[in-house]
Structure 1
Amino acid sequence: MTGMNTEQAINSAVDRARQWSPFLSMILDRETALASALSDGQLDLTLSSATPDMPVPKRLRLERRAMALNVAIGDLAGILDLTAVTGALTRFADYALDTAIRTAIDERTPGAEPVGFTAIALGKQGSGELNYSSDIDPILLFDPLTLPRKPREEPEQAAVRIGKRVVELLQARDGDGYVLRVDLRLRPSPEITPIVLPVEAAIGYYEAQALPWERAAFIRARAAAGDIAFGQGFLDAIRPFVWRRTLDFGAIREIRGISARIRDHHLQGQAFGAGYDLKRGRGGIREAEFFAQIHQLIHGGRDPTVRAPATRDALARLAEAGWIGGDEARALTDGYTLLRTIEHRVQMIDDRQTHALPTGDALDRVAKLHGVEDAGALLALLAPRVAATGRIYDALDDTVRPAFSHDPVTLEADLAAAGFDAPEPARQRIEAWRAGAYPALRSPAAREALEAVLPTLVTAFATAPVPQSALLRLDALLERLPSAINIFRLLEARPGLATLLAAILSHAPTLADDLGRRPTLLDGLIDATAFAPVGDIAALETAMRADDAGSDYQARLDHVRRVVGELRFALGAQIVAGASDPLHVAAGYARVAEAAIGVLAGATIAEFAKAHGTVPGSELVILALGRMGGAMLTHASDLDLIYLFTGDFAAESDGPKPLGATLYYNRLAQRVTAALSVATAAGPLYQIDTRLRPSGGQGPLVVTLDSFARYQRDDAWTWEHMALTRARPVFGSTGARDAVAAIIRGVLEGERPVRDVVADARSMRAEMAAHKAPAGPLDAKLLPGGLVDLEFAVHVVQLVNRTGFDPNLGAAIDRLVEQGLAPPALRAAHDVLTRLLVTLRLVAPDATPPGHATEALIARAIGVADWAAVIATLGSTRQEVRGFWMQATGEQDG
Structure 2
Amino acid sequence: MSDPLPPVLAQRAATLRGRIDERWSAEQRARWHSAWADYPHPGHLDHMLACSPFVADLLQRDPEPMLHLLASGQLLRSLDEGETERQLQDALAVEQAQLLPVLRQFRSRHMLRIIWRDFCRLAPTLETTRDTSLLAEASIRCALAHSRAGLEARFGLPRGRHSGEPQELLVLAMGKLGARELNVSSDIDLIFAFPEAGETDGDKVISNEQFFTKLGQALINALDATTADGFVFRVDMRLRPYGDSGALVHNFNALEDYYQEQGRDWERYALIKARALTGRAGDVAELEQMLRPFIYRKYVDFGVIDSLRSMKQMISSEVRRRGLDNDVKLGHGGIREVEFIAQCFQLIRGGRDLGLQQRELLAVLAECAELGCLPEAAVAELREAYLFLRDSEHAIQGYRDQQSQALPTEPEQQAATARLLGCGDWDSYLARLQAHRQRVAAHFRDLIAEPEEKEDEIADDLALWGEDLSAVSLTALGYRDAEASVAPLLELQGSKRVLSLQSQGRERLEAFMPQLLRACAESSDPDLALSRVLPLVTAVLRRSAYLALLLENPAALDELVQLCAASPWIASLMAEHPVLLDELLDRASLYTAPDKALLQDELRQQVARLPIDDLEAQMDVLRYFKAAHVLRVAASELTGRLSLMKVSDKLTWLAEVILEQVLAVAWYDLTAKYGEPARETEGYGFAVFGYGKLGGIELSYSSDLDLVFVFDAEAKGSTAGPRSIDNTVFYTRLGQRMIHILETRMALGQLYEVDMRLRPSGDSGMLVASTRGFASYQQDTAWTWEHQALVRARLVAGDERVGRTVYDVREGILRQSREEGELAREVVRMRRRMREHLLPADAAANGEFHLKQGVGGIVDIEFMVQYAVLAWSHRVPALAHWSDNIRILETLGREGLFEQQECESLTLAYLAYRSAAHQLALQQQPDVVPAGDYGKHRDAVTAKWRHLFASYEDEAPGNGDQAN
Question: So what's the TM-score if we normalise by structure 2?
Answer: 0.53
Per the TM alignment, residue 653 of structure 1 is displaced from its structure 2 partner at its CA by 1.3
The counterpart of 1:575, out of the listed 637, 653, 659, is: 637
8 Å contact kept, 1:651–1:660? yes
Residue 41 (structure 1) aligns with? none
Aligned residue pair count: 584
Residue 679 (structure 2) aligns with? 617
Check if 1:485 corresponds to 2:544: yes
Distance 1:300 1:615, change over 3 A: farther
Check if 1:354 corresponds to 2:370: yes
Counterparts of 2:47 and 2:794, CA distance in 1: 57
Counterparts of 1:445 and 1:546, CA distance in 2: 35
Residue 910 (structure 2) aligns with? 830
Counterparts of 2:542 and 2:314, CA distance in 1: 19
Residue 353 (structure 2) aligns with? 339
Counterparts of 1:294 and 1:435, CA distance in 2: 32
8 Å contact kept, 1:748–1:799? yes
Residue 516 (structure 1) aligns with? 575
- Superimposed CA distance per residue, residues 380-409 of structure 1 (whole angstroms, 9 cap, x where no aligned partner): xxxxxxxxxxxxx99996851417525766
Check if 1:820 corresponds to 2:918: no
Counterparts of 1:465 and 1:778, CA distance in 2: 30
Check if 1:603 corresponds to 2:674: no
Per the TM alignment, residue 220 of structure 1 is displaced from its structure 2 partner at its CA by 7.0
Counterparts of 2:851 and 2:125, CA distance in 1: 74
The counterpart of 1:808, out of the listed 884, 909, 916, is: 884
Counterparts of 1:601 and 1:778, CA distance in 2: 40
Secondary structure class of the residue paired with 1:642 = strand
Distance 1:281 1:826, change over 3 A: closer
Per the TM alignment, residue 760 of structure 1 is displaced from its structure 2 partner at its CA by 0.7
Residue 934 (structure 2) aligns with? 874
Residue 605 (structure 2) aligns with? 546
Counterparts of 1:885 and 1:754, CA distance in 2: 15
Per the TM alignment, residue 222 of structure 1 is displaced from its structure 2 partner at its CA by 8.3
Secondary structure class of the residue paired with 2:184 = helix
Distance 1:293 1:489, change over 3 A: closer
8 Å contact kept, 1:778–1:848? yes
Per the TM alignment, residue 457 of structure 1 is displaced from its structure 2 partner at its CA by 1.3
8 Å contact kept, 2:688–2:708? yes
Per the TM alignment, residue 560 of structure 1 is displaced from its structure 2 partner at its CA by 0.5
8 Å contact kept, 1:780–1:833? yes
- Superimposed CA distance per residue, residues 76-131 of structure 1 (whole angstroms, 9 cap, x where no aligned partner): xxxxxxxxxxxxxxxxxxxxxxxxxxxxxx999998999779xxxxxxxxxxxxxx
- Superimposed CA distance per residue, residues 450-479 of structure 1 (whole angstroms, 9 cap, x where no aligned partner): 232233311232344544344334333334
Secondary structure class of the residue paired with 1:546 = helix
Per the TM alignment, residue 513 of structure 1 is displaced from its structure 2 partner at its CA by 2.8
Distance 1:226 1:627, change over 3 A: closer
Per the TM alignment, residue 534 of structure 1 is displaced from its structure 2 partner at its CA by 2.5
- Superimposed CA distance per residue, residues 327-351 of structure 1 (whole angstroms, 9 cap, x where no aligned partner): xx9xx9797344325899xx99x99
The counterpart of 1:883, out of the listed 943, 948, 951, is: 943
Stretch of structure 1 that moved more, 222-231 or 631-640? 222-231
Counterparts of 1:579 and 1:634, CA distance in 2: 16
Per the TM alignment, residue 608 of structure 1 is displaced from its structure 2 partner at its CA by 0.5
The counterpart of 2:510, out of the listed 444, 451, 457, is: 451
Counterparts of 1:543 and 1:455, CA distance in 2: 37
Per the TM alignment, residue 576 of structure 1 is displaced from its structure 2 partner at its CA by 3.3
Per the TM alignment, residue 880 of structure 1 is displaced from its structure 2 partner at its CA by 1.4
- Superimposed CA distance per residue, residues 25-63 of structure 1 (whole angstroms, 9 cap, x where no aligned partner): xxxxxxxxxxxxxxxxxxxxxxxxxxxxxxxxxxxxxxx
Distance 1:750 1:231, change over 3 A: closer
Counterparts of 2:296 and 2:514, CA distance in 1: 33
8 Å contact kept, 2:593–2:636? no
Counterparts of 1:893 and 1:231, CA distance in 2: 69
Residue 429 (structure 1) aligns with? 488
- Superimposed CA distance per residue, residues 226-281 of structure 1 (whole angstroms, 9 cap, x where no aligned partner): 99538999xxxxxxxxx9xxxxxxxxxxx99xxxxxxxxxxxxxxxxxxxxxx999
Residue 184 (structure 2) aligns with? 229
Residue 295 (structure 1) aligns with? 311
Counterparts of 1:531 and 1:281, CA distance in 2: 30
The counterpart of 1:781, out of the listed 844, 852, 861, is: 852
Secondary structure class of the residue paired with 1:529 = helix
8 Å contact kept, 2:314–2:582? no
**Amino acid across the alignment from 2:472:** A
Distance 1:636 1:228, change over 3 A: closer
Check if 1:400 corresponds to 2:454: yes
Secondary structure class of the residue paired with 2:611 = coil
Stretch of structure 1 that moved more, 790-799 or 421-430? 421-430
8 Å contact kept, 1:705–1:740? yes
Counterparts of 2:674 and 2:941, CA distance in 1: 51
Stretch of structure 1 that moved more, 609-618 or 884-893? 884-893
Check if 1:722 corresponds to 2:788: yes
Counterparts of 2:872 and 2:453, CA distance in 1: 68
Counterparts of 1:352 and 1:498, CA distance in 2: 36
Secondary structure class of the residue paired with 1:611 = helix
Counterparts of 1:600 and 1:476, CA distance in 2: 32
8 Å contact kept, 2:856–2:942? yes
Per the TM alignment, residue 443 of structure 1 is displaced from its structure 2 partner at its CA by 2.4
Residue 38 (structure 1) aligns with? none
**Amino acid across the alignment from 1:810:** I
Per the TM alignment, residue 435 of structure 1 is displaced from its structure 2 partner at its CA by 3.8
Larger radius of gyration: 1
The counterpart of 1:679, out of the listed 732, 745, 750, is: 745
Per the TM alignment, residue 566 of structure 1 is displaced from its structure 2 partner at its CA by 1.4
Counterparts of 1:497 and 1:718, CA distance in 2: 52
Counterparts of 1:693 and 1:893, CA distance in 2: 31
8 Å contact kept, 1:559–1:682? no
**Amino acid across the alignment from 1:787:** I
**Amino acid across the alignment from 2:921:** R
Secondary structure class of the residue paired with 1:544 = helix
Counterparts of 2:677 and 2:526, CA distance in 1: 60
Counterparts of 1:401 and 1:575, CA distance in 2: 36
Distance 1:401 1:715, change over 3 A: farther
Residue 799 (structure 1) aligns with? 870
8 Å contact kept, 1:525–1:570? no
Counterparts of 2:665 and 2:631, CA distance in 1: 24
Counterparts of 1:433 and 1:767, CA distance in 2: 50
8 Å contact kept, 2:296–2:350? no
Residue 635 (structure 1) aligns with? 701
Per the TM alignment, residue 827 of structure 1 is displaced from its structure 2 partner at its CA by 1.3
Q: Give the root-mean-square deviation of aligned CA atoms.
A: 4.9
Residue 69 (structure 1) aligns with? none
Residue 855 (structure 1) aligns with? none
Counterparts of 1:644 and 1:670, CA distance in 2: 13
The counterpart of 1:284, out of the listed 289, 297, 300, is: 300
Structure 1 alignment gaps of length 5 or more? 1-105, 118-145, 150-154, 170-218, 234-242, 244-254, 257-278, 319-328, 358-392, 850-869
Distance 1:333 1:815, change over 3 A: farther
Secondary structure class of the residue paired with 2:371 = coil
Per the TM alignment, residue 641 of structure 1 is displaced from its structure 2 partner at its CA by 0.3
Residue 714 (structure 2) aligns with? 648
8 Å contact kept, 1:601–1:672? yes
Counterparts of 1:724 and 1:281, CA distance in 2: 63
- Superimposed CA distance per residue, residues 416-463 of structure 1 (whole angstroms, 9 cap, x where no aligned partner): 121111223333333344445425972222222223223331123234
**Amino acid across the alignment from 1:845:** Q
Distance 1:339 1:667, change over 3 A: same
Per the TM alignment, residue 607 of structure 1 is displaced from its structure 2 partner at its CA by 0.9
Counterparts of 1:110 and 1:394, CA distance in 2: 47
**Amino acid across the alignment from 2:936:** S
8 Å contact kept, 2:540–2:547? no
- Superimposed CA distance per residue, residues 690-738 of structure 1 (whole angstroms, 9 cap, x where no aligned partner): 0001111111111111111121122211101110110001122332222
